[in-house]
A and B are shown apart, each in its own frame.
Chain A
Amino acid sequence: MKLDYRSVPYRILENSLQVVGIIIISAFASGGDGSDPLALFSFLMMGVLLVGAWQAAYVRNYEYRLDGDTIDIYSGVFSRREREIPFERIQNVDIAQNVIQRALGIAEVRLETAGGGGSSEARLRYVSRQEATRLQELISRRKRGDVTERDPGETGSILFELNQRELGILGITSANVRLLGLLFGLMIIVSPVAAEQVSPRLGLLLVFGPAIAIAGLVLLWIASGIQAVLRYYGFQLFRHDKELRYTRGLLQQYDGTIPLSKIQTLMVRENILARSLGYSSLVIETAGYGPGQDENVESAIPIAKRDRVFELARTIEDIGEPTFERPPKRARTRYVGRYTIVVGVITSLFGLYHWQTGNLPLWYAGAALWVLVPPAAQLKWTNIGYYTDDNYVITQGGFWSRRTTIVPYYRVQTISSTQTIFQRRRNLATLVVDTASSGGFWGGNAVALDIDDAVAEQLREQVHDEFHDSVEQRRQVSKQQRVSTSAD
């Protein structure tokens, strides 16, 4: 099958940089001064024609076939490339459509495999919207060896739909609280200093410094809120056979799939704003590739009441009611110590500043920050925990943005217990359960922070044993299924 012909004009637009390049080159080559409107217009036409011819040739020569077990893609104008992707290796079939593409009725289809790394395994740019849906449907069924054609319009049962109220709350709570807090603190401190640098008579600016900082933060907050609202507008999550599907987006519309069989970990994220309102979000991580673009991990539920989120998580992984084990009290003492050191460093930096410049006479007032230390340690401590049952290890951590990571034992890759020199002093250790999930910096690693070191050792072995049991169990189940299917 070929790409949709309407992708040619869009691809020209997309490559308008090339058009501009051609115009510039030909303007230089012709030796004209480029101010003649007629010449400029003809160059523009030439650019559009050249790029258009190239894009038309590309689209003409791009072909994909779905046969047997693979999707074969033949592409390239001068150097041809053939790529075969087995259906069973395709993890996600995503459809993206921005405003212009929607007006043209075309869509981009991205095929992702676990080995993807950053980029998609294949991107069909562009096919018609119906064809995109058909492909998505077809691949998801071929993946399971089902070759019958069904009505592509059919959708599964809706698991979750984002309503207006939740969208609003998403906008309010989507700011990166930790970053905001840090920036706020920084601006409070820096802006008077900066003001002083700008004009020595700072009286007024000293007052305005924090005000400007606050205004900047509010703007940042609004911007991130708008971004989140645009991104998750009209969010819907379906269960469709053995996949989850979602659609979202106002300007850039996005249809994605999450195959249930490829789910590595679930993560419930709730930043402090959302938490105080009783809301959470659910992130589903699959192997090797995070659905969605770039660094942003895709939410299965952008935001919903905490109970609702856990209810939905339970339909995916049967986690029951986890009751978290908190770290021992001496962990809290450790945080008090750690934050005291931070306060000490800040105060001595103030002191150093005063020593150098002599205009911070009250530098030792920085030590008053210590009043924040006990509550901070308490808050950190109460948000850390772990829980294990017969099927899952669940860990929790983080005050600003609390993450509850749910790892089924059979998704475990490696298990480590680590002990820093400071943890050793207090017989504490950290358990890290690694999975193959992709998600960014913290990834799908379940981290049980600062638990008793003996417990950590024992948990490590326990998780490993449970892992082996569950792998064995799954092997037997799939064996039985094979036997039963071959008997049919």
Chain B
Amino acid sequence: MTDGGDDSDGRSDREFAGDDNSNTPQAPREPAGDDEPGRSHSRVSAGSDSSDARSSPEGNDEPRSRSETISPAAELDDRGPTGDGQTAPKQTPPELAEPLPETIRPPESPAGLDQQTIEEYTTDRRSLNPTVQIQWGIWTTIGMLILGAVLNAVLGSFGVDLVFGGLLVPLLILIGLVWVVLRYRVWVYQIRDDSVYLERGVVTHVRTIVPYVRIQHVDTSRGPLERALGLSTLVVYTAGSRGADVSIPGLEPEQARDLQQRLKELAIEADGDDAL
């Protein structure tokens, strides 16, 4: 993992602090050409006829589908800045006005979140609740016990000494627990003003951006172990081929519900056209 980005939001004590995504919406759109060779071939002309062809059939039904999406939003009126005690207005974003100028926002929209609310809804780079390590640890231990038993059986059939087998299981569990700790340390999520951003993965780091426009629905789920530990998982669905790949584990239940509510409102606000 690369290190050494500036981390403006005070999470620099963690190892994963290091890339400069925490304030990316502000990243300059057109960096100097030399480190971005692909851009030098940019073409401006858009295929006018193909884009016309594409947008018009859907144009007609848009108002209808929008009002449907927004219908649950009657309850939105009484949402206040409560419930997001952890969010402080970070990221004072003057740039926000640029990508989303006021004129574009449908003022008639009953769910319209003003800029300030969107700011309040965004979070800095957060890690998961540390308790999730216990959850993962239990699952990993169970998995490793099974793996160890299988390996022992296989090795035993080859006549390998069982002393080795006795060592194997604790070793596997140790590896598993180290993996759990690393996994916890890598995990970061962030609610940005236009997307959810996730970082995860020990062996393979994965950093994903999910634009609000693309969110289909948001679930919270709690398995038995999660309930026992007081945890909850937030699952974000997109229409993408990876389906429900985007899930944030290790949240406190009310935090998960709060995030769910926020994402719902932000997704309604983003109100993409029908992508399919």
- B50 and A316 contact, CB distance less than 8 A: yes
Residues of A within 8 A of B19 (CB): 457
Q: Which of A323, A415, A478 contacts B208 (CB 8 A)?
A: A415
Q: Is residue B39 within 8 Å, beta carbon to beta carbon, of the partner chain? A: yes
- Given A416-B208, A421-B203, A460-B207, CB of A262 within 8 Å of CB of B276: yes
Complex contacts, B86 vs chain A, CB 8 Å: none
Which residues in window 225-262 of A have CB below 8 A to B? Answer: 242, 259-262
Number of residues from B at the complex interface, CB < 8 A: 62
Judge whether A39 is part of the interface by a CB distance below 8 angstroms.
no
Alpha-carbon gap, A420 to B19, bound state (A): 17
- Tell yes or no: A88 within 8 A of B by CB: yes
Are the C-beta atoms of B206 and A478 separated by less than 8 Å? no
Contact A481 B99 (CB under 8 A): no
Cβ proximity bits A429-455 to B, threshold 8 Å, 1 near / 0 not:
000001111100001110000000111
Contacts of B99 in A (CB 8 A): 465, 468-469, 472
Would you call A145 an interface residue if the criterion is a C-beta within 8 Å of the partner chain's C-beta atoms? yes
What is the chain B residue whose CB lies nearest that of A434? B240
Q: Which of A100-108, A173-181, A382-390 contacts B (4 or more CB under 8 A)?
A: A382-390
What residues on A are CB-neighbors of B206 within 8 Å?
416-419
CB-CB under 8 A from A145, the residues of chain B are 60
Name the distance in Å between A486's Cβ and chain B's nearest Cβ.
Answer: 10
A418 with B273: in contact, given A260-B53, A261-B55, A318-B50 (CB under 8 Å)?
no
A367 to chain B, nearest CB (A): 27
In contact, B239 and A424 (Cβ under 8 angstroms): no
Asked whether B31 lies within 8 Å of A458 as measured between CB atoms, the reply is yes
Chain A residue nearest to B39 (CB atoms) is A388
User: Taking the complex as formed, is B43 at the interface, i.e. its CB lies under 8 A from any CB of chain A?
Assistant: yes
Residue contact B57 to A261, C-beta cutoff 8 Å: yes
With a cutoff of 8 Å between Cβ atoms, the chain B residues found around residue A388 in the complex are 38-39, 42
Interface residues of A in 369-395 (CB under 8 A from B): 386-391
Q: Is the CB of B38 within 8 A of A386?
A: yes
Rounded to whole Å, the gap between the CB of B188 and the closest CB of chain A is: 14
Bound: A196/B2 CA distance, A? 54
Residue of A91, A419, A468, A478 touching B211 (CB-CB under 8 A)? A468
* Chain A interface residues (CB < 8 Å from chain B): 88, 91, 114, 143-145, 242, 259-263, 287-288, 314-318, 320, 322-323, 325, 386-391, 410-421, 424, 427, 434-438, 443-445, 453-455, 457-462, 464-465, 467-469, 471-472, 474-478, 481-482, 485
A-binding residues in B (CB < 8 A): 1-2, 19-21, 24, 27, 29, 31, 35-39, 41-47, 50-51, 53-63, 99-100, 104, 194-195, 201, 203-211, 213-214, 238-242, 245-246, 272-273, 275-276
CB pairs A–B below 8 angstroms (19 shown): A242-B57, A259-B57, A318-B46, A391-B47, A414-B210, A416-B209, A418-B204, A418-B207, A419-B1, A434-B241, A454-B2, A454-B35, A458-B27, A464-B211, A468-B213, A472-B100, A475-B104, A477-B51, A478-B58
Q: Give me the 10 closest cross-chain CB pairs, A-B, nearest first.
A: A318-B47, A413-B240, A287-B276, A478-B59, A436-B239, A434-B240, A416-B208, A443-B241, A419-B205, A114-B276
